[in-house]
Amino acid sequence: MKIPKTIRIGNKEFKIKIKNRISWSKKISGQINYDDKELMINKKLKGRDLESTFFHELAHGLFHEMEFNYPQMVKFRNDETFIQEFGLNLRKTFLDLLEKQK
Ligand SMILES: [Zn+2]
């Protein structure tokens, strides 16, 4: 899957940046910054890992957006196990959808 340069979450346009280093550690795979509207992915990731990280960070972003109308969402957004599962499922279904567009 081609990772886009930007992605819309709610009414905000997030920039997607592929970076050598995200914050303080080279080991961090991805991060989303809601204030700067940036979704960052570690440059070392390829293929499935790259996609999974993209969907993981997107999941954080979607749940953050949903908190506006449903503040209880915060507990899901901060639950890394939940976000990981949600992101992996989002990836699978989205790839299936893309495949069926061909
Ligand atoms: Zn996370």
Angle CA 76–50–67, to nearest 5: 20
Which tens digits make up the pLDDT trace of 9-67? 999 999 999 999 998 877 899 999 999 999 999 999 999 999 999 999 999 999 999 99
Q: Measure the CA–CA gap between 97 and 50, rounded to whole angstroms.
A: 18
- CB-based contact 53:31 (threshold 8 Å): no
**Please, which residues have CB within 8 angstroms of residue 66's CB and are 6 or more apart in sequence?**
73
Q: Please give the distance, rounded to the nearest whole angstrom, from the Cα atom of residue 55 to the centre of ligand 1.
A: 10
CA nearest 56: which of 90, 22, 26, 27? 90
Q: Please give the distance, rounded to the nearest whole angstrom, from the Cα atom of residue 97 to the centre of ligand 1.
A: 24
Q: Please give the distance, rounded to the nearest whole angstrom, from the Cα atom of residue 79 to the centre of ligand 1.
A: 8
Tokens of 52: 């999974």
Q: Please give the distance, rounded to the nearest whole angstrom, from the Cα atom of residue 102 to the centre of ligand 1.
A: 31
Per-domain residue ranges of the chain: 6-101
Q: Please give the distance, rounded to the nearest whole angstrom, from the Cα atom of residue 80 to the centre of ligand 1.
A: 5
Query: pTM for the full model?
Result: 0.95
| CATH among 1.10.3470, 1.20.140, 1.10.10, 2.60.40 for 6-101 | 1.10.10
